Structure 1
Amino acid sequence: MARTKLTNATARTPRRKGQLPTKVCAGCSRPFEWRKKWARCWDEVRYCSERCRRASRL
């Protein structure tokens, strides 16, 4: 019997790198991809990095 690796992926989260959803950053207008740490709050993510988020407040 082969062992399978358990993941925290849900039915909504893709499993292959080529299938990751993308968004455009509100700060720098560059596209960025889904990251595992954003799994719970992907709908609220607007910026690709902390730097873009901080720069948008100025």
Structure 2
Amino acid sequence: MKMVKKSNLPTKVCVTCSRPFAWRKKWAKVWDEVLYCSQKCRRTGAGEK
């Protein structure tokens, strides 16, 4: 398996805290649906909507 540098990974901005976060292997199949950087932001963001 070829290693990819972290600087070359796609990034997004969290809709709750506005911090950038990088692609993770566990998000490979659902990357288009990922909106939050963490479970904490997911819980907080759900209440703000």
**TM-score surpassing 0.5?**
yes
* Aligned mates of 2:6, 2:46 — CA distance in 1: 32
TM-score, with structure 1 as normaliser? 0.71
Identity of aligned residues (%): 60
Q: Which protein has the bigger helix share?
A: 2
Structure 1, unmatched stretches of 5+, are 1-5, 8-13
Q: Which has the higher contact order (CA 8 A, sep 6+)?
A: 2
Q: Is the radius of gyration larger for structure 1 or structure 2?
A: 1
Q: CA deviation at 1:15?
A: 2.7
Structure 2, unmatched stretches of 5+, are none
TM-score, with structure 2 as normaliser? 0.82
After TM superposition, where is structure 1 displaced by more than 6 Å over at least 4 residues in a row?
A: none
How many residue pairs are counted as aligned between the two chains? 47
